[in-house]
Chains A and B, each alone.
Chain A
Amino acid sequence: MELLYASCVGILVSCGVFLILRSRTFPVVLGLTMFSYAVNLFLFSSGRLSLNQAAVLGYSSEYADPLPQALVLTAIVIGFAMTAFVVILAIRGRVDLGSDHVDGQLPNKGSNKNKDKNKKVKI
């Protein structure tokens, strides 16, 4: 179970980081969401993984740590609000700047051909 859990978190983090490093806002938002899923799973596991253990005293012989569960709830709520905010902000950026690039405009590609194309379009 530990291996499966850890590789889940690992894959989510690597996908998230890859997407965050993209230049358009939509993949970045997706990446942030994946990253926060991974973080939530990771936080949950910080109380150790265990089966059939209640978080309340007296319901089972061994009990699970209730604190990480509370932490995850808080983190989910905060992460949800922040994602909603960044989605709205990305839409506003698209409207205000006319492009969904995180820098607000497409960078000129290195080759001369592209530069010429851009110039023509501008004219």
Chain B
Amino acid sequence: MMQNLSFLPILLPMLAGVILLMPPFCNNKTSRRITSVVLSTVTFLVSLALLLKVQADGTQVYAIGDWSAPFGIVLVADPLSTLLVCLTTLLGLVCALYASAGDDEKGSFFHPLIHFLILGVNGAFLTGDAFNLFVFFEVLLIASYSLLMHGGDKRNTRAALQYVIMNLVGSAIFLIGLGVLYGVLGTLNMADMAQKVALLQGDDVYLAKIGGLLLLVVFALKGALLPLHLWLPNTYATAMPVVAALFAIMTKVGVYSMMRVYTLIFGDEAGELTHMAQSWLWWLALATIAMGAVGVLASKDLRKLVANLVIVSVGTLVTLVAVQTIEASAAAIYYLVHSTLVTAALFLLADLIGRQRGEVADHISAGPPVAQPKLLGFLFLVAAIAVIGMPPLSGFIGKVWLLKATLNAEYTFVFWPLYLLASLAILLAVSKAGSTVFWHHHDTHTQSAEQARVHPAQLMALLILICGAPLMSIFAGPLSEYAIGAASQLHDFDNNIKIILAGGQ
């Protein structure tokens, strides 16, 4: 049991999804909801157990079917991937809980799809094989296509169509990139690829570079980096908010893949291709931050505002990935957890606020007052402070840390002013949105607004996410130690190769 622990975060969501499609659960909504939440909790607890095991015993390498490393597929549970698996399963639990208040009735198969999405995301985080990464990308994408359409209207169909076409082209490019890399390197195991890249000579170097940069296109598409970010605001703003909250982790899959590929394979030890994507990543990330900040200022409703905040956070993370030092990666890991939790919380909050304001919904304009101004207002205040990055919540720590980590980077004099201006833009936009929504209202109580009080399940789900901000700031010491540990392991080239290639034997 214990030796198979690293496979369980992939296996359990799959079983959960299948179980929820079977008879007693497929026609009884109460039992389906309870089972879904219970199974998500189990998955989360198993991921936590894996986290503890990785912390105690070091990186776990699991050879699927007992085929040893360069030939078979391995799962690598190192501190970074395990942390992200925990984050994903927590988010899945929160979304299953939140949707149990009624959102899951707007279409069919909501709960199974959530579990399949978690299966794909966990797989993408854990796998140590490049082609397997593609397969798990497809698993999470097909689940996300269906979730995006869940309970949707016409606007939603259009956004979904564009999202699906973009991602199909992305998948094709991913395969071409993998084909080029396999043709040159003769292996798909990431650790083995990293070893072979350094030995390339002659024209093969350029082929490998083409393959690597094609992968960059794909990861930029998934992560919504500048020229390829256009799908994100529409998609996230038209999806159901609980789905959008779950999608908060999906851009991070792209960022995580960049971390892996451009730190391990094309990192410090890649011969002629050392840090080949760094300059691309750095400038694109800066442009992404700028575009995201403009988008935040221009947003007319809360959900679009949050979608643009996601873009800013992606830009920030990719900047840190481009710096390629241990400290920057550690800051990226801390910021990644913080930004996922807080943007997911903001999506859910936008939904709750929208429901209580009748026809105005989540538009940032004067309208009927929300039914529970104290509760929602307080939660919005906490989330806003966290996302802006003001003390004392986690956003502030993340921001200071990432500014410190980029201090010695080559073009810091561009990044610092840009990032601080973007923060100012976020501060302005979020505080304007909050004050308009909560304070500027006509005194007409509508009937529908009275009915839509916050359901206990929704409140609990939201509280779990919002509590993340103060908790991450109270336990910042152990968390940052963990992040530094994970980052130094990510950058420890020789050790990684040794562990992965020797693993599972």
Contact = CB atoms under 8 A, between A and B. Distances in A.
Interface stretch (A53-61, A67-75, A106-114): A67-75
A78 B135 contact: yes
A20 B158 contact: no
Contacts of B162: 102
A35 B158 contact: no
Interface range, B side = 20 to 34
A62 B178 CA distance: 25
A39 B164 contact: no
Contact of A86 (B135, B138, B164, B180): B164
Interface string A13-33: 000000010000100100010
Interface in A85-121: 85-86, 89-90, 92-93, 96-97, 102-104
B131 A71 contact: yes
Nearest to A70: B131
A79 B160 CA distance: 18
B171 A86 contact: no
- Point out which of A35, A46, A85, A93 has the most chain B C-beta atoms below 10 A from its C-beta: A46
B182 A67 contact: yes
A35 B131 contact: no
Given A78-B138, A102-B162, A46 B179 contact: yes
A45 B161 CA distance: 31
Given A78-B138, A97-B157, A104-B154, A32 B168 contact: yes
A2 B416 CA distance: 51
B161 A93 contact: yes
B175 interface: yes
A97 B142 CA distance: 22
Contacts of B109: none
Contacts of B2: none
A86 B165 contact: yes
Interface residues of A, number: 34
Q: Interface SS of chain A: helix, strand, loop or mixed? A: helix
B396 interface: no
A120 B183 CA distance: 59
Nearest to A92: B157
A42 interface: yes
B157 A46 contact: no
Contact of B158 (A32, A39, A74, A104): A104
Nearest to B157: A96
Contacts of B172: 32, 35-36, 39
B179 A42 contact: yes
A102 B138 contact: no
A81 B142 contact: yes
A89 B164 CA distance: 9
B467 interface: no
A12 to B, nearest CB: 11
- Point out which of A20, A71, A102 has the most chain B C-beta atoms below 10 A from its C-beta: A71
A82 interface: yes
A105 to B, nearest CB: 9
A85 B168 CA distance: 11
B175 A39 contact: yes
Contact of A28 (B165, B183, B188): B165
A96 B149 CA distance: 12
B176 interface: yes
Contact of A32 (B165, B176, B178, B180): B165
B169 interface: yes
Contacts of A86: 161, 164-165, 168
A42 to B, nearest CB: 5
Contacts of B161: 25, 86, 89-90, 93, 102, 104
Contacts of A74: 131, 135
Contacts of A96: 154, 157
Interface in B132-168: 135, 138, 142, 145, 149, 154, 157-158, 160-162, 164-165, 168
26 contacts: A20-B169, A28-B165, A32-B172, A35-B172, A39-B172, A42-B175, A46-B179, A46-B180, A46-B183, A67-B188, A74-B135, A82-B171, A83-B168, A86-B164, A89-B161, A90-B161, A92-B157, A93-B157, A93-B158, A93-B161, A96-B157, A97-B154, A102-B161, A103-B158, A104-B154, A104-B158
Given A32-B168, A89-B149, A97-B157, 18 more contacts: A32-B169, A32-B172, A42-B175, A42-B176, A47-B182, A68-B182, A71-B182, A74-B131, A78-B138, A82-B138, A85-B145, A86-B161, A86-B164, A86-B168, A89-B145, A89-B157, A90-B161, A104-B161
